Amino acid sequence: MRRRTLITFLAAALPAGAALRAAGPIPSGALTPQVEEMRRNWRALLAKNADIATDPAPLTLSKDEWRKRLPPAAYAVLREEGTERPHTSPLNGEKRRGVYACAGCAWPLFSSEMKFDSGTGWPSYFTTIPGAFATTTDYKLLYPRIEYHCAKCGGHHGHVFDDGPRPTGQRWCNNGVALRFIPA
């Protein structure tokens, strides 16, 4: 990248990155009643499904155990903080009711009601199931971004941006290979 291009990019990106860092994930209680109910009632979607993790105890495995458990693309994203190519996930077009769980540990992350089409090429959600993620600040692109990881297994899923739809204004941009869809 030429120096002028880099400087122009940083000048445009730094104010946006600072705003993202300050915004952070929206805490429970700050959302509309409809979204609060959606976040509370995701279990009803899976009442008859036993494929979801319910034990919140952390899942810790060795690198070799993760490699055996995950396909190579999922391993690269979840364990090495990689990113899949946009428009490659079949979950982009998923429209059925259900829950999106972590591909590494089956921890519930999003309900189908939380999903929206962001046009970015990655599955996107405007909120999460409470307790689904832990967040950190990522400086890999030289400006701060909010990165999120599965609260159960620590797997990397994506980044949170402040360009999502109402009522939260957030876009939880998730790698499709890091998810498993469990229909209701």
pLDDT tens-digit series, residues 38-96 = 656 556 655 555 567 777 889 999 999 999 999 999 999 999 999 999 999 999 999 99
Domain segments of the chain as ranges: 3-183
pLDDT tens-digit series, residues 126-173 = 999 999 999 998 887 778 889 999 999 999 999 999 999 999 999 999
Residue range 27-32: mean pLDDT, rounded: 55
Residues marked active site are found at: 173
User: 3-class DSSP state for residue 115?
Assistant: strand
Residue 114 has pLDDT above 80, yes or no: yes
Using an 8 Å Cβ cutoff, are 142 and 10 in contact? yes
Rounded CA-CA distance 8/94 in Å is 37
Residue 101 has pLDDT above 50, yes or no: yes
Query: Taking the model in full, what pTM does it have?
Result: 0.76
Residue 179 has pLDDT above 70, yes or no: yes
Q: What is the pLDDT of residue 48?
A: 53
The CATH architecture to which 3-183 belongs is Beta Complex (2.170)
User: 3-class DSSP state for residue 176?
Assistant: helix
